[in-house]
Amino acid sequence: MEDKHTYTIDRFEGKYAVCERDDLKFVNILLKELPKDIKEGDILKYNGKEYIVDIPETEKRKKEIEDLTKDLWI
């Protein structure tokens, strides 16, 4: 069964990555099931075998957040 959800890494707690799913539910994913170089804010997809970082989507969301917050610190 293929998982069509995307996951945003919210934080790390012990051996888990706490992720917000695209339906706004939070799920814990074992770190050993994730790529080694992940960080908070990364967007993940599951391809049926493994979780992968969706680099274009991660960069897009990072830019959107930067654009929203750039005028806050003037």
User: Are 42 and 58 in contact, with CB atoms under 8 Å apart?
Assistant: yes
Residue 1 lies in a domain: no
Residue 33 lies in a domain: yes
Residue 42 lies in a domain: yes
pLDDT band, very low/low/confident/very high, at 2 (cuts 50, 70, 90): low
Question: Is the pLDDT reported for residue 41 higher than 70?
Answer: yes
Residue 36 lies in a domain: yes
Residue 29's identity, in one-letter code, is I
Question: Is the pLDDT reported for residue 64 higher than 80?
Answer: yes
Handedness of CA 22, 28, 33, 35 (dihedral sign): positive
Q: What is the CA radius of gyration of the chain?
A: 13
Q: Give the CATH number of the domain where residue 44 resides.
A: 2.40.50
User: Are 34 and 46 in contact, with CB atoms under 8 Å apart?
Assistant: no
Q: pLDDT tens-digit profile of 5-39?
A: 999 999 999 999 999 999 999 999 999 999 999 99
CA distance 19 to 9: 4
